[in-house]
Amino acid sequence: MYDSILFPTDGSEPAGSVLEYAVDVASEHGATLHVLSVADASREDVGRAGEEAMDAPRLAAQEIVDDAASRAREGGVSVVSAVREGDPSAAIVEYGDASGVELVVMPTHGRHGLKRFLLGSVTERVINTADVPVVAVNPDRERPLRYPPANVLVPTDGSAGAERALSEAIAVTRATGATLHLLHVVETGRLGPDARAVLDEAALTERADEIVAGAVEAARAESLDAVESAVEFGVPSKEIRRYSEANAIDLAVLGTQGETDFSRYVMGGVSAKIVRTSPVPVMWVR
């Protein structure tokens, strides 16, 4: 399914903890793993004068990529290593485009730590600009990572973005033999605990059932038999997390347009909350 996978690394502990997962994904699909490190000359610690100082970022990046590539080869996968210079997010996307990678796997945060957690981070920019799916892995997770997945979750709102996510998830489940879980959350959290009494619950449930039924039909049309579906009421990010934990979900797949558009991040959108709290890797399909 994926023949070429990109793993960008900055040599940080978070990135190192996600490398093994990237190797597992590449191994499962028989893919070549591209290990990339970007020499970011904009960093404050390399703003010194002198040729030696100017070379320091690239030398450091080369050391980082050599170490990660060596570890990846120990996992038995084919590896291509590369170093680029410039803005990290732009360099990652440009390298991916030029190398024909079909999937990017990277941590939600790296060297700059939790203070830059997604807000303006490299991962956010890659998610927003890459033409291929991006799997964001939270290095601070409590659950162990698992690939191939046994259970794949698609939270769906019936939008075009959700449809694209569903298509990608169907391909993943077919390739790995996983069970596909389809979930729609009727958002009532902002209206308080009595929201279902205030709103027309019958109409909400009917619409939710239609959305889920359409997703199930699309999955069945692709000859998937292991399909589970559910409708929940509440705060979407919380319900998605709760469902993931209750059903041993190994991978969630979301679209970045529609009601789960990543552009809503600065307004506290569903997508950002899911990434912040997800106990499992999240694949973003733009």
Q: Are residues 202 and 232 in the same domain?
A: yes
Task: Confirm whether 209 is domain-assigned.
Answer: yes
Q: Are residues 156 and 281 in the same domain?
A: yes
Q: Are residues 74 and 193 in the same domain?
A: no
Q: Are residues 73 and 189 in the same domain?
A: no
Closest C-alpha to 102, from 6, 168, 176, 175: 6
Task: Confirm whether 94 is domain-assigned.
Answer: yes
Task: Confirm whether 142 is domain-assigned.
Answer: no
Task: Confirm whether 160 is domain-assigned.
Answer: yes
The last residue of a domain, from among 102, 137, 172: 137
Task: Confirm whether 146 is domain-assigned.
Answer: no
Q: Are residues 46 and 117 in the same domain?
A: yes
Q: Are residues 188 and 258 in the same domain?
A: yes
Q: Are residues 16 and 126 in the same domain?
A: yes
| Token digits of residue 267 | 């307004």
* pLDDT for position 13: 86
Q: Are residues 105 and 39 in the same domain?
A: yes
* pLDDT for position 97: 97
Cβ pair 64, 9 in contact under 8 A: yes
118: which residues sit within 8 A by CB, 6+ positions away? 108, 109, 124, 265, 272, 275, 276
The pTM of this model reads 0.87
Q: Are residues 111 and 170 in the same domain?
A: no
Going by their DSSP bridges, the two strands 79-85 and 179-187 should be labelled as unpaired
Q: Are residues 195 and 86 in the same domain?
A: no
Q: Are residues 22 and 86 in the same domain?
A: yes
* pLDDT for position 269: 61
Task: Confirm whether 144 is domain-assigned.
Answer: no
195: which residues sit within 8 A by CB, 6+ positions away? 188, 189, 233
The last residue of a domain, from among 137, 159, 186: 137
Tell me the Ramachandran region of residue 258: left when phi exceeds 0, alpha when psi lies from -120 to 50, beta otherwise.
Answer: left
Task: Confirm whether 280 is domain-assigned.
Answer: yes
Q: Is 160 exposed, middle or buried (0-12, 13-18, 19+ CB in 10 A)?
A: exposed
* pLDDT for position 141: 74
| Token digits of residue 57 | 């970022």
Task: Confirm whether 189 is domain-assigned.
Answer: yes
* pLDDT for position 128: 83
Cα 255 to Cα 164: distance, rounded to the nearest angstrom: 6
* pLDDT for position 83: 97
The last residue of a domain, from among 75, 109, 137: 137
Cα 37 to Cα 203: distance, rounded to the nearest angstrom: 51
Q: What is the mean pLDDT of each run of 10 residues along the chain (286 residues)?
A: 96 89 98 94 54 76 96 98 94 97 88 43 85 91 90 93 94 97 85 55 85 96 94 90 95 74 44 74 92
SS3 content of the chain, % helix, strand, coil (to 5): 50, 20, 30
Cα 239 to Cα 227: distance, rounded to the nearest angstrom: 19
Closest C-alpha to 85, from 113, 109, 55: 55
| Token digits of residue 186 | 């009727």
User: Can you give the CATH number for the domain in which 53 is found?
Assistant: 3.40.50.620
Q: Are residues 52 and 176 in the same domain?
A: no
Domain range holding 53? 4-137
Domains held by the chain: number: 2
Q: Is 74 exposed, middle or buried (0-12, 13-18, 19+ CB in 10 A)?
A: exposed
